[in-house]
């Protein structure tokens, strides 16, 4: 039986996302404290990149007022959001 290492799975996933036109960035390049920071803390535990989610909400729903974008952001990032759990 052949075992996959984490790096093999990671490289395959990154290639797949790139093929779908996702921007693939190197984690330390967006780390907290750097000019291009997208993370809120240095521990890489951010599940959601806040700036990207806020920008996507505005881009996908330009007809809605900012208050609605903010409400959607709060609901999507609520830690007890049962909609994000699988059944």
Collect all residues with Cβ–Cβ distance below 8 Å to 57 and sequence separation of at least 6.
69, 72, 73
pLDDT per residue as tens, the chain (87 positions): 567 788 999 999 999 999 999 988 888 888 888 888 888 777 777 778 888 999 999 999 999 999 999 999 999 988 765 555 554
Alpha-carbon distance of 80 to 84, in angstroms, equals 9
Prediction pTM value: 0.65
pLDDT of residue 82: 58
């Amino acid at each position: 039986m052949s075992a996959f290492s984490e790096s093999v799975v990671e490289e395959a996933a990154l290639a797949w996302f790139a093929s779908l036109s996702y921007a693939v960035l190197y984690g330390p390049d967006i780390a907290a404290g750097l000019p291009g920071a997208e993370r809120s803390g240095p521990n890489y535990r951010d599940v959601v990149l806040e700036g990207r989610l806020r920008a996507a909400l505005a881009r996908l729903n330009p007809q809605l007022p900012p208050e609605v974008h903010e409400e959607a952001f709060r609901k999507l990032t609520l830690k007890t959001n049962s909609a994000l759990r699988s059944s």
